[in-house]
Copies of this chain bind each other. A is one copy, B any other.
């Protein structure tokens, strides 16, 4: 993870993952809204209380509202998955 830009209210991060999964019992629970863009690769996200995973392809993005618990279920094992995240 690399911080590309930041101010008092915003943090823009570049994240690279390969074959990554959050631990089964780990959930991100963030104080800020997060905009996530999948730039390269492929990934699946899960949200607490939701049975379905969300598959992300290049160009897909979403806003994860603050305190929406989520985890990374899967990213491509053989190539880097590149994300841009904006916490705001």
Contact = CB atoms under 8 A, between A and B. Distances in A.
Interface residues of A, number: 17
Nearest to A39: B39
Given A5-B63, A10-B10, 8 more contacts: A4-B63, A5-B33, A5-B86, A5-B88, A9-B10, A37-B39, A37-B84, A39-B39
Oligomeric state, in number of copies? 2
21 contacts: A4-B35, A4-B61, A5-B33, A5-B35, A5-B63, A5-B86, A5-B88, A7-B33, A7-B88, A9-B10, A9-B88, A10-B86, A10-B88, A12-B35, A12-B88, A37-B39, A37-B84, A39-B59, A59-B82, A84-B84, A88-B88
